[in-house]
Amino acid sequence: MVTHALLAAALTLTAAPAAAPAAAAASAPAASAQAPVDCARVKCLALTFDDGPGPQTPALLKTLRKAGAKATFFLVGKKVEQRPRIARQTLAQGHAIGNHTYSHTSLPRLLDEEISQEIRVAQTVIEKATGYRPTMFRPPYGHTDERVLRTADEANLAQVLWSGTTLDWSLQDAAKIKKTVLKLARRDGVILMHDTVPATVKAMPDILMELKKQGYHLVTVPTLLRGKGPKSGVSYP
């Protein structure tokens, strides 16, 4: 019995990452379980974190778990190679993960073949680390064009941009980042932050508390899209 349960859990984690929220609910501590949220009925907001996994990511995951909040992480392939376990843990806690290229370079200046390479190598690295092949992609610096979108589509990826950016990397101050997030928050919004910015991770317990007080449900981008996406070749929001 026990052996079977463990084996089933292991198989679920490695072979069926699409079912990660269910797996997390079954095997992880209760705090990481989240009842299905219907964003058509309640006020939802998607927090997104780019450029990791980094040294601060485990602390951020802990904060999110305590708050029962879900988020979306756009991972850089090169960083996933350095911290594959953190990438795996992010997914196992019910968060969504997406592709943020292999080396975090501005794509529109590259040749078609190079753009494709950046996206595809990141897909492979992320899948190798987590068992999950992303369906979402975010171009570094938000630099994109028709070619980038088409190349993402060829890799079966939707493009996810944002409705508000905190510029947390330039603020580098927890109080200012908190203020900016609260100003940008709106129903169905997608907020861009970075788990590589220590002040962002530091500000997050306060930010989550305040957003929840304002009635927000903190969800992943796919949850925000209410089952209507992400669709390959489409740019959101």
Instruction: List residues near Ni ion by CB under 5 A.
Output: 50-51, 140
Q: Which of 54/140 has CB closer to Ni ion? A: 140
Q: Which of 94/140 has CB closer to Ni ion? A: 140
List the catalytic residues.
Answer: 50, 194
- The label of the residue with tokens 């788990």 reads 195
For residue 70, the minimal CB distance to Ni ion (Å) is 20
For residue 27, the minimal CB distance to Ni ion (Å) is 31
For residue 74, the minimal CB distance to Ni ion (Å) is 7
* Residues 83 and 225: beta-carbon distance below 8 Å: no
At position 95, the amino acid (one-letter code) is H
* 211-230 residues labelled b (16+ CB within 10 A) or e (exposed): beeeebbbbbbbbbbeeebb
For residue 1, the minimal CB distance to Ni ion (Å) is 46
The secondary structure of residue 102, as a DSSP letter, is S
Q: Which of 65/194 has CB closer to Ni ion? A: 194
Q: Which of 51/168 has CB closer to Ni ion? A: 51
With CA atoms as reference, report the closest residue to 169 among 158, 156, 180: 180
With CA atoms as reference, report the closest residue to 141 among 108, 181, 172, 189: 108
The residue length of the chain stands at: 237
From residue 103, how far is each of 53, 125, 132 by CA, in Å? 13, 12, 19
Tokens of 45: 């907001």
* Residues 181 and 207: beta-carbon distance below 8 Å: yes
